[in-house]
């Protein structure tokens, strides 16, 4: 195990974060060492607090500090339309467009056989239960237009359409291989409005 020394240990822990290589981890570590103890303590507290006080909503699996989450609990949302997304951050992207007023379902990933991720590793069983128990007219499959995102959308459509529920796909304006996170709200909003029914 690396990192018996405090500095090496922090560099190692930071380098495990996505998108942070060893060089960035080193830069961040020395940046933190230059700060006041108070500031570093408040960062450490924020990390622990966010993790400890955040739960998965028992309805949609989005992260929230309350259960059910604010969106699921809101009387102003349209309960007949459901938008299925890969990650909690995609809910934020969708909400920013201001164009979607239904409910969400967060998969927490996509089907990726090459990485050993099957439907049971995602919240697909919960989604199917939800569709069976509620009066839902349309499911928007808003997984990213990557190969795995596309496969997941098709897989879900084959399960959902026989339940008599319309399935649609957003893709317009977001190039193949793209990640919703990197597109502006106008592009995502347009993709949502121009969604295409899957046949
Ligand atoms: Zn929820």
Summarize pLDDT for 101-144 with one digit per residue, the tens.
999 999 999 999 888 899 889 999 999 999 999 999 999 999 98
* Span from the CA of 62 to the centroid of ligand 1 (angstroms): 6
Overall number of domains in the chain:
2
CATH code, domain with 22: 1.10.8.420
pLDDT higher than 80, residue 2? no
pLDDT the model gives residue 84:
97
Q: Do 120 and 27 fall within a single domain?
A: no
Q: How confident is the model at residue 199 (pLDDT cuts 50, 70, 90)?
A: confident
193 lies in some domain: yes
* Span from the CA of 106 to the centroid of ligand 1 (angstroms): 9
Q: Which residue has the tokens 């569709």?
A: 131
Q: Do 103 and 179 fall within a single domain?
A: yes
Q: Do 48 and 94 fall within a single domain?
A: no
63 lies in some domain: no
Q: Do 118 and 151 fall within a single domain?
A: yes
- What percentage of the chain has pLDDT greater than the value 90? 77
170 lies in some domain: yes
* Span from the CA of 86 to the centroid of ligand 1 (angstroms): 14
Q: Do 143 and 99 fall within a single domain?
A: yes
Q: Do 115 and 193 fall within a single domain?
A: yes
pLDDT higher than 80, residue 174? no
Average pLDDT over residues 140-159: 92
Tell me the per-residue pLDDT of 76-99, one tens digit each, with 9 for 90 and over.
999 999 999 999 999 999 999 999
Element (H, E) at 138: strand 138-141
* Span from the CA of 38 to the centroid of ligand 1 (angstroms): 35
* Span from the CA of 21 to the centroid of ligand 1 (angstroms): 34
Q: Do 84 and 42 fall within a single domain?
A: no
* Span from the CA of 131 to the centroid of ligand 1 (angstroms): 14
* Span from the CA of 63 to the centroid of ligand 1 (angstroms): 8
CA distance 147 to 144: 9
Q: What is the chain's alpha carbon radius of gyration, rounded to the nearest angstrom?
A: 20
Q: Do 29 and 118 fall within a single domain?
A: no
140 lies in some domain: yes
Tell me the per-residue pLDDT of 6-41, one tens digit each, with 9 for 90 and over.
999 999 999 999 999 999 999 999 999 999 999 999
Q: Which residue has the tokens 């309960």?
A: 79
Domain of 21?
6-52
Element (H, E) at 48: helix 37-52
Q: Do 10 and 84 fall within a single domain?
A: no
Is residue 65 within 8 A of residue 53, CB to CB? The reply is yes
- From the list 90, 102, 88, 84, the residue with the least C-alpha distance to 153 is 84
pLDDT higher than 50, residue 3? no
* Span from the CA of 92 to the centroid of ligand 1 (angstroms): 13
67 lies in some domain: no
Is residue 140 within 8 A of residue 90, CB to CB? The reply is no
59 lies in some domain: no
Q: Do 119 and 193 fall within a single domain?
A: yes
65 lies in some domain: no
* Span from the CA of 126 to the centroid of ligand 1 (angstroms): 12
pLDDT the model gives residue 60:
98
129 lies in some domain: yes
Q: Do 45 and 113 fall within a single domain?
A: no
Cα→Cα distances 154→12, 87, 158, Å: 39, 18, 6
Q: How confident is the model at residue 173 (pLDDT cuts 50, 70, 90)?
A: low
pLDDT the model gives residue 187:
80
- From the list 35, 159, 70, 183, the residue with the least C-alpha distance to 107 is 159
Q: Do 89 and 126 fall within a single domain?
A: yes
* Span from the CA of 58 to the centroid of ligand 1 (angstroms): 7
């Amino acid at each position: 195990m690396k990192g018996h020394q405090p500095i090496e240990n922090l560099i190692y822990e930071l380098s495990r974060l996505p998108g942070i290589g060893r060089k960035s981890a080193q830069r961040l570590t020395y940046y933190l060492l230059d700060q006041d103890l108070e500031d570093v303590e408040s960062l450490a507290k924020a990390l622990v607090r966010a993790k400890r006080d955040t739960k998965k909503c028992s309805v949609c699996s989005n992260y929230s500090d309350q259960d059910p989450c604010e969106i699921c609990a809101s009387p102003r949302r349209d309960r007949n339309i459901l938008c299925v997304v890969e990650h909690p951050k995609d809910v934020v992207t969708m909400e920013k467009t201001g164009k979607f007023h239904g409910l969400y379902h967060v998969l927490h990933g996509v089907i990726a056989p090459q990485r050993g991720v099957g439907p049971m590793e995602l919240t697909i069983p919960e989604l199917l239960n939800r569709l069976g128990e509620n009066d839902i007219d349309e499911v928007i499959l808003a997984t990213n237009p990557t190969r795995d995102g596309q496969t997941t959308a098709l897989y879900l459509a084959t399960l959902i359409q026989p339940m008599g529920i319309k399935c649609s796909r957003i893709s317009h304006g977001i190039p193949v291989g793209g990640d919703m996170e990197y597109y502006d709200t106008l592009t995502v909003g347009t993709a949502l409005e121009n969604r295409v029914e899957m046949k």
